[in-house]
Structure formats: C-alpha cells, structure tokens
C-alpha cells in the first residue's frame, strides 16, 4: 500500500475509533478520560485529512505540515491527558496547547522549515516524550496497585515507542551519513505504524474501561453497601484462602465475631434510619481501633467478623478489647448521645481444625458466652476468660 492510501486509511480508522470511543462514552458518562480520547482520534483524523487534501490541492505551508503536525502532536497529548484523568489526575489541556503552539512555531524557523528530515527528527522526539510520559504515568501512579486493565495499554505504548525510537535513530543516522540496515523500510512504514497504533490504542482504551466496570461490579458484589466492610459472600470466598495460607505458613489465625448489644432497642427507640447510622458509626470506630487490617466482614444484621491472620490469641484478645472500648466510649451523636456497646467472641484455629468454619463456630459460641455474661465484654473460646466490664 502506498503512503497516500495509508493516510486515507488512517483518517478513516481515526474517525471510526472516535465514533467507537463516543459510543463507549454514551454508556460511561462519568468517565472523564473518554472525551480526551475522542479528541485524540479527531486530531489524528483531521491531521490525516489535511495531508490527503494536500496531495491533490497543495495547501499553504502553515496548514501542511504546520497545523497537521501540531494536530498530530495534540492527538498524543490528548492520549496522555486522558490517561492522567483516568488514573485520577488532572487534565493536561494547557500542556497540549503549549506543545501544539510550540510545534507550529517551529515551522517558522528557516532551519526547520527548509529541512523535512530535521522537522521529522524534532517532531518524533516530541511524540516519543509524550508516549514515554503516558507509560511512565501509568507505571508510577499504579505501582502500589495491580496494573491489571492497563496492561494492553502499556504494551501498545511500549511497542509504538520502540518503533518510533528505531525510526528516530534511523533518521539521525541517515542525516549523519551513516547507513542503518532497514532504514528505508522503517521510514516508509511510518504511516502503517500510525494506523495500527490508532486501532490498537483505541482497543486498549475500550478494554480498560470494560475491565474497570467489571472490577467495580466484582467489588460491589463483595462489599456491604451500608458499612463498606466485606459481606458474607466475601467471607465465604476469602476465609478458606486465609485459613490455608496461615496453615501453610504455620501462622496463628484468630477469628473475632462482634455483635451489637440490644440493637433492637435502638431501632425501636430511634427508628431504622438512625439504627443504620449507628451501625455505620460502630464500624468506623471498630475500624479505627483495629487499624489497617483488611479482613473485616459484616455477617448480616448487627453481627460482624474480623479475621486476624498471623495473630496470636493474646494479641487477638487485646485487639478485641480495644475495639470494645472504642465503641463503648464513643456514642453516636444524634439529638442526644446514643450510647452503644458490643459483645465479642474470639477463637483461634487449632491443629485439629480442618476448616475455617470450625473456628467461626467456636468464635460464635464464645460470643454467646459474652452475651450470656452480661454483654459489653470480650470472651475467648480457648480460655473462656472474661474481660471488660
């Protein structure tokens, strides 16, 4: 395929990808990155359109290559800006404007205006910088999390960056009079690479949005909407893994069950809405008292469980006591202070336990003991020693 045909194809492909991104935006209006990615595709298509028209009716130098190049660069800028927004950063419109104007102004410099090779070398360097910035932004800001849905995007950026770098090296070598094998092919295949890049990156964006939605669904299926703690379904899924992991690593595993005391009275006195607020308040207090641990579950109603991996029973007792105290000493403030207390039962996994359910069952029995002993107390299954008030 000759370059002219490839440029027409690039223009059509960019329009189709812009339409695909717009379709995706129709179903994901809250996704701030999509308008940027639509703008990127439109920039690529108008840039190609100018090149196509120029082949038939020569346009002024300011339009081609001036504005065509600035638009192409802006396209890459919008890709970067969209990625930033998708990860939670701010848009980069100021930078896009500065870069496009800078690129345009370069075309007025005689040394650059008169040399296609110099123009291309400078222009490639700017595209390389934007491509690298996009990839680095993902890698740096996601280093604490899983890369997950960003993987295809990183591959596309990486491959595009590599071929751009090879072309840049070939161009510089040509200019310096050094012959590089495959240099002519690399130079002529530029339009093909751009077209493939536009298709691939649009697909990577679509994959990322779909992956993110699936992740959000997975998370909400495992999360209790009232308290933000994991729900019972999550416990069923995660507890066997935690149990097996502790067993394999020879670590102690404790389970704490906590239950709000006389919660029915709170509902009856203040109504279910305030009852819900009290439950939220209790989980916030418990979470703060406990610290950064992640295995917090709402079993149902006003009953909760905490898995304490790699925690000895004595440590578990002191954590439970800390939680009990925190809840007991911080009433929920409504028109007046609503004082609440919780009872807690603890059990530790033993060598005889074949499953986590056996430990949960003993923790439940310990909780029953705590309720039977007057509530607002911590009861341990192993010792049946009572603490608290």
Ligand X SMILES: Nc1nc2c(ncn2[C@@H]2O[C@H](COP(=O)(O)OP(=O)(O)OP(=O)(O)O)[C@@H](O)[C@H]2O)c(=O)[nH]1
**Quick check: 364 binds ligand X (CB under 6 A)?**
no
Identity of the residue, 37 or 263, whose beta carbon is nearer to ligand X in the bound complex: 263
Choose which of 36, 168, 224, 259 interacts with ligand X (CB under 6 A).
259
Choose which of 260, 286, 363, 378 interacts with ligand X (CB under 6 A).
260
Which listed range, 147-155, 201-209, 271-279, 308-316, lies at the site for ligand X (CB under 6 A)?
A: 271-279
**Burial category of 3 from C-beta neighbours within 10 Å (exposed 0-12, middle 13-18, buried 19 and up):** middle
Beta bridge partners of 256: 306, 346
With CB under 6 A, what is the number of residues at the site for ligand X? 16
Q: How far apart are CA 91 and CA 37, in angstroms?
A: 12
Identity of the residue, 114 or 225, whose beta carbon is nearer to ligand X in the bound complex: 225
Asked if 127 contacts 165 with a C-beta cutoff of 8 angstroms, the reply is no
Q: Which residues of 88-126 are buried (b: 16+ CB within 10 A; e: fewer)?
A: eeebbeeebeebbeebbebbeeeebeeeeebbbbebbeb
Q: How far apart are CA 387 and CA 374, in angstroms?
A: 12
**Quick check: 269 binds ligand X (CB under 6 A)?**
no
Nearest to 303 by CA among 328, 279, 327, 321: 279
176 Cβ contact list (under 8 Å, min separation 6)? none
Q: From start to end of the chain, where are the E strands?
A: 253-260, 296-300, 303-309, 332-333, 337-338, 342-348, 377-380, 386-388
Q: How far is the CB of 335 from ligand X (least distance, A)?
A: 17
Asked if 252 contacts 312 with a C-beta cutoff of 8 angstroms, the reply is yes
Q: What are phi and psi of 146, to 5 degrees?
A: -80, 145
**Quick check: 267 binds ligand X (CB under 6 A)?**
yes
Q: How far is the CB of 153 from ligand X (least distance, A)?
A: 40
**Quick check: 261 binds ligand X (CB under 6 A)?**
yes
Which listed range, 46-54, 158-166, 254-262, 313-321, lies at the site for ligand X (CB under 6 A)?
A: 254-262
Asked if 232 contacts 285 with a C-beta cutoff of 8 angstroms, the reply is no
**Quick check: 301 binds ligand X (CB under 6 A)?**
yes
Report which residue's Cβ sits closest to ligand X. 275
**Quick check: 264 binds ligand X (CB under 6 A)?**
yes
| Residues 305-344 close enough to bind ligand X by CB under 6 A | none
**Quick check: 345 binds ligand X (CB under 6 A)?**
no
Query: 326 by DSSP, 3-state: which?
Result: helix
Q: How far is the CB of 272 from ligand X (least distance, A)?
A: 4
Which listed range, 48-56, 238-246, 262-270, 344-352, lies at the site for ligand X (CB under 6 A)?
A: 262-270
Identity of the residue, 78 or 230, whose beta carbon is nearer to ligand X in the bound complex: 230
CA distances from 174 to 2, 100, 115, 166, 291 (A): 22, 27, 13, 12, 62
Which listed range, 8-16, 185-193, 199-207, 274-282, lies at the site for ligand X (CB under 6 A)?
A: 274-282
Identity of the residue, 281 or 287, whose beta carbon is nearer to ligand X in the bound complex: 281
20 Cβ contact list (under 8 Å, min separation 6)? 202, 206
Identity of the residue, 133 or 363, whose beta carbon is nearer to ligand X in the bound complex: 363
**Quick check: 245 binds ligand X (CB under 6 A)?**
no
| Residues 199-238 close enough to bind ligand X by CB under 6 A | 226
**Quick check: 90 binds ligand X (CB under 6 A)?**
no
| Residue length of the chain | 389
Q: How far is the CB of 332 from ligand X (least distance, A)?
A: 12
**345, two tokens:** 């039962």
Q: How far is the CB of 325 from ligand X (least distance, A)?
A: 18
**Residues near ligand X (CB under 6 A):** 226, 259-264, 267, 272, 275-276, 279, 301-302, 371, 375
């Amino acid at each position: 395929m000759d370059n002219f045909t490839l440029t027409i194809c690039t223009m059509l492909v960019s329009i189709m990808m812009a339409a695909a991104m717009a379709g995706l935006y129709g179903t994901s209006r809250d996704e701030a990155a999509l308008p940027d990615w639509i703008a990127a595709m439109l920039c690529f298509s108008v840039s190609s359109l100018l090149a196509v028209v120029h082949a038939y009716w020569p346009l002024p130098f300011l339009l081609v290559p001036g504005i065509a190049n600035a638009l192409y660069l802006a396209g890459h800028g919008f890709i970067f800006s969209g990625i930033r927004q998708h990860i939670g950063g701010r848009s980069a419109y100021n930078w896009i404007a500065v870069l496009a104007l800078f690129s345009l102004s370069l075309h007025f410099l005689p040394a650059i205006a008169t040399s296609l090779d110099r123009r291309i070398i400078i222009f490639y360097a700017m595209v390389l910088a934007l491509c690298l910035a996009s990839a680095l932004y993902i890698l740096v800001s996601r280093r604490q999390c899983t890369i997950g849905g960003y993987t295809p995007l990183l591959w596309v950026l990486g491959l595009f960056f590599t071929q751009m770098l090879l072309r840049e090296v070939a161009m510089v070598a040509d200019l310096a009079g050094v012959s590089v094998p495959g240099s002519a092919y690399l130079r002529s295949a530029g339009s093909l690479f751009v077209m493939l890049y536009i298709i691939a990156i649009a697909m990577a964006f679509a994959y990322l949005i779909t992956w993110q939605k699936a992740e959000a669904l997975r998370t909400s299926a495992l999360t209790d909407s009232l308290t933000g703690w994991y729900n019972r379904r999550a416990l069923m899924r995660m507890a066997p893994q935690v149990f097996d992991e502790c067993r394999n690593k020879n670590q102690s595993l404790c389970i704490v069950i906590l239950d709000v005391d006389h919660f029915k009275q709170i509902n009856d006195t203040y109504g279910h809405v305030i009852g819900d607020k009290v439950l939220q308040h209790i989980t916030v207090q418990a979470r703060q008292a406990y610290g950064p641990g992640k295995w917090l579950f709402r079993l149902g109603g006003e009953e909760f469980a905490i898995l304490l991996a790699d925690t000895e029973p004595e440590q578990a007792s002191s954590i439970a006591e800390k939680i009990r105290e925190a809840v007991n000493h911080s009433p929920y403030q409504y028109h007046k202070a609503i004082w609440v207390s919780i009872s807690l039962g603890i059990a530790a996994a033993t060598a005889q336990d074949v499953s986590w359910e056996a430990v949960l069952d003993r923790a439940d029995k310990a909780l029953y003991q705590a309720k039977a002993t007057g509530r607002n107390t911590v009861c341990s299954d192993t010792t049946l020693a009572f603490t608290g008030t």
